[in-house]
């Protein structure tokens, strides 16, 4: 018994001794260990992307810049420590190495989530709203537990190693002969990698449908910060912007109706629903049969696209008919004293309508009370007003069905005509449905399909309850999307830096009491900016000076329907007829798709340099002309009794205040 214990103790001591020797060896050059770890992160997750899009043959080209860049940095750090073998020098280069490795870890996670390499602009929302950002990050980590454990587990080991060597950094020792040989060998590898990178970069790209991560993520991040691309906005552009959004009393409304009885309006805004995954695109999938029935008995704009792939911006465009600021901010939610001219203010001022905005998501996300205030709604309701937090779904949303009772109670509270908006959220990441509805699916795409089915049931139930109230026969019932969502149809996931149809194409359906407006399909390219003027046109109202158009009266085959992503480096472009033009700021290239003959966008046509410059100039002007001035650069206000809003420049925040009864 005693011998057994002694043997175990001896084995433990041997193991500890071996680990100590390994640590002592690695701790001599901690910066090398950390940089090699950064290189491993890059090459492993690029292989994951190559596997995802089945481009194994190009994988070796993708990692050349990583090998060349990181080994170049390692050579410089090694030389510094060899020339000045002091602990503070080792600590300094180790700290910089840790920063490089941290960016590799973040980039690896971003590739896993979206299929693209990360850019610094992606991190801005984390600083503006860290709580929400970390909720999103946590949700995405839970979706891929295996990959998350590997990523975070290895990172935790590196972190412990980093802190230990920073606390007890051994004095560097070098054998000059071995050092020079290692430097020569590393230099040969670096020169070979850079040379092959230059040679392969000169070859023609056969396909741009999948983002090729040929550039090292650190270099790409550095270049993106200092890029002088004309499509990027500068501080001067914001200072010099002259656009002022008209306020509620600054628009001319032409009323050509002889009918004093006007319909109520209900607008259901879908969150991130891809058009192709609804029954509007394919009735056989049977995911949204009620939405399809609304289209059959009403009006569908079959070729509608969002102006910006971002909810706050999209809502503003939908409900004002004016383009939002095509910039990475939420300027539309910065509270104003008098609301902008919008669907709600026009109907209230002209026809005496009342208005309310309901959403199942949390209200403090992107300062939604500020946006709703600016759109002139009389009432705002969000998930914070639910009595039971058990009805919350995910970090952002809640059970959509819980909106129905407050919507109906508000409608019954007054006999005036009304406009109400219901913004859904369950189809937003993390794609969860309430427990009562169904057992959650395991695969992300199946979970997403499940949320689409659930949302269609909600729309059906809302329609039923409005029928029971006796108001549906005099109501324009509308369903419209903010943007779509990508699930690797072109190698990408999400919606922020994607310009393919899975993200741009949105549902837009209007069903009203007019029997002559039944089964109508408008196939002309439309924008989310066209929703409000088309809706007003059905009420015989016309507003001059809008960016959108009434699609029943528009006849312009050469019209450009512009679109962009929210992030500044996102693709930007326009659709003109059946031709779609996309400009990619990161690569400074522009492509054309013939959507009539290539609806799946599989055959891009690269423009010549002269054409690229013309397209880039056009899109840069459109972006800069969209900027509008903020009346008050900073301030705070109380909105809708329950919300405290603060803002600085073009970013605002909201905090819910529970009123004690």
For 278-331, the pLDDT digits (tens) are: 999 987 888 999 999 999 999 999 999 999 999 999 999 999 999 999 998 899
Is residue 204 over pLDDT 70?
no
Strand partners for 564: 308, 572
Is residue 587 over pLDDT 70?
yes
**Residue 564 near residue 494 (C-beta atoms within 8 A):** no
Which strand (E) or helix (H) includes residue 522? strand 520-522
Average pLDDT estimate for 575-600: 92
Condensed to tens digits (0 to 9), the pLDDT of residues 65-93 reads 899 999 999 999 989 988 888 888 888 99
Which band of pLDDT confidence, cut at 50, 70 and 90, is reported for residue 129?
low
Which band of pLDDT confidence, cut at 50, 70 and 90, is reported for residue 427?
very high
Report the b/e string of 295-306 with b at 16+ CB within 10 A. beebbbbbbbbb
Map residue 415 onto helix, strand or coil: coil
Q: Count H helices, E strands: the chain?
A: 20, 24
The angle formed by the CA atoms of residues 494, 500 and 506, to the nearest 5 degrees, is: 80
- Cβ-proximal residues to 402 (8 Å cutoff; 6+ apart), any chain: 360, 386, 391
- Cβ-proximal residues to 549 (8 Å cutoff; 6+ apart), any chain: 529, 530, 533, 534, 556, 559
Nearest to 133 by CA among 331, 428, 396, 325: 396
Average pLDDT estimate for 32-58: 84
C-alpha 298: how far from chain center: 31
Condensed to tens digits (0 to 9), the pLDDT of residues 138-190 reads 666 666 666 667 777 878 888 888 888 887 777 777 788 888 888 899 899 98
Nearest to 347 by CA among 96, 589, 532, 505: 532
Query: What is the DSSP-derived secondary structure letter of residue 251?
Result: -
Average pLDDT estimate for 473-495: 88
Is residue 210 over pLDDT 60?
no
CA distances from residue 120 to 57, 226, 283, 544, 602 in whole angstroms, order as listed:
29, 11, 41, 40, 29
Which band of pLDDT confidence, cut at 50, 70 and 90, is reported for residue 480?
very high
Average pLDDT estimate for 657-661: 73
What pLDDT was estimated at residue 239?
A: 87
Is residue 117 over pLDDT 70?
yes
H-state helical runs in 421-530: 444-468, 501-504
Is residue 9 over pLDDT 70?
no
Q: Find tokens 């701790």 and name the residue.
A: 27
Which band of pLDDT confidence, cut at 50, 70 and 90, is reported for residue 206?
very low
Cα-only R_g, the chain: 28
Q: How far is residue 211's CA from residue 208's CA, in Å, rounded to a whole number?
A: 6
């Amino acid at each position: 018994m005693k011998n057994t214990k002694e043997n175990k103790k001896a084995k433990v001591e041997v193991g500890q001794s071996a680990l100590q020797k390994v640590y002592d060896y690695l701790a001599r050059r901690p910066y090398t260990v950390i940089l090699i770890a950064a290189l491993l992160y890059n090459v492993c997750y690029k292989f994951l992307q190559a596997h995802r899009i089945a481009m194994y043959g190009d994988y070796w080209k993708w990692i050349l810049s990583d090998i060349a860049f990181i080994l170049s940095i390692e050579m410089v750090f090694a030389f510094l420590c060899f020339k000045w073998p002091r602990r503070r020098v080792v600590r300094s280069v180790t700290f910089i190495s840790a920063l490089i490795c941290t960016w590799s870890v973040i980039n690896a996670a971003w590739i896993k989530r979206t299929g693209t390499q990360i850019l610094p602009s992606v991190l801005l929302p984390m600083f503006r709203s860290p709580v929400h950002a970390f909720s999103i990050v946590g949700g995405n980590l839970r979706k891929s537990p295996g990959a998350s454990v590997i990523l975070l587990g290895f990172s935790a080991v590196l972190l412990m190693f980093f802190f230990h060597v920073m606390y007890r950094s051994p004095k560097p020792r070098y054998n000059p002969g071995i050092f020079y040989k290692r430097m020569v060998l590393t230099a040969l590898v670096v020169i070979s990698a850079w040379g092959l990178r230059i040679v392969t970069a000169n070859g023609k790209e056969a396909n741009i449908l999948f983002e090729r991560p040929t550039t090292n993520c650190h270099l790409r991040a550095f270049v993106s910060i200092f890029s002088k691309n004309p499509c990027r906005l500068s501080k001067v552009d914001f200072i010099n912007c002259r656009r002022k959004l008209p306020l509620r009393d600054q628009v001319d409304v032409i009323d050509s109706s002889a009918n004093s009885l006007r319909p109520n309006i209900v607008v259901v805004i879908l969150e991130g629903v891809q058009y192709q995954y609804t029954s509007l695109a394919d009735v056989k999938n049977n995911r949204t049969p009620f939405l399809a029935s609304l289209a059959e008995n009403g009006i569908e704009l079959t070729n509608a696209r969002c102006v910006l792939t971002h909810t706050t911006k999209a809502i503003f465009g939908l409900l004002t008919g004016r383009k939002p600021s095509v910039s990475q901010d939420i300027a539309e939610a910065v509270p104003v004293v008098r609301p902008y001219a919008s669907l709600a203010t026009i109907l209230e001022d002209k026809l005496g309508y009342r208005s309310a905005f309901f959403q199942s998501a949390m209200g403090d996300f992107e300062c939604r009370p500020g946006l709703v205030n600016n759109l002139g709604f009389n009432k705002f309701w969000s998930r914070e007003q639910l009595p039971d937090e058990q009805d919350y779904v995910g970090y952002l949303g809640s059970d959509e069905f819980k909106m129905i009772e407050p919507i109906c109670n508000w409608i019954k509270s007054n006999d005036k005509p009304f406009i109400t908006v219901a913004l859904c959220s369950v189809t937003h990441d993390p794609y969860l449905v309430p427990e009562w509805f169904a057992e959650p699916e395991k695969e992300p795409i199946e979970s997403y399909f499940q949320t689409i089915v659930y949302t269609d049931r909600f729309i059906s139930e809302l329609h039923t309850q409005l029928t029971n109230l006796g108001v549906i026969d005099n109501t324009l019932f509308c369903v419209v999307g903010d943007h779509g969502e990508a699930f690797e149809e072109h190698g990408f996931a999400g919606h922020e830096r994607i310009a393919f149809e899975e993200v741009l194409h949105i549902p837009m359906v209007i069903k009203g009491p007019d029997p002559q407006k039944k089964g109508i399909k408008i196939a002309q390219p439309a924008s989310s900016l066209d929703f409000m003027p088309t809706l007003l046109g059905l009420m015989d109202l016309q507003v001059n000076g809008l960016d959108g158009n009434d699609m029943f009266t528009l006849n312009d085959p050469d019209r450009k329907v512009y679109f962009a992503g929210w992030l500044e480096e996102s693709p930007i472009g326009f659709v003109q007829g059946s031709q779609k033009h996309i400009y990619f700021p990161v690569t400074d290239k522009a492509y054309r798709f013939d959507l009539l003959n290539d609806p799946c966008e599989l055959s891009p046509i690269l423009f010549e340099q002269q054409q690229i410059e013309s397209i880039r100039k056009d899109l840069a002007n459109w972006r800069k002309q969209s900027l509008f001035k903020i009346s008050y650069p900073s301030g705070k206000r109380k909105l809708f009794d329950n919300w405290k809003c603060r803002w600085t420049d073009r970013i605002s925040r909201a905090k819910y205040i529970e009123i004690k009864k």
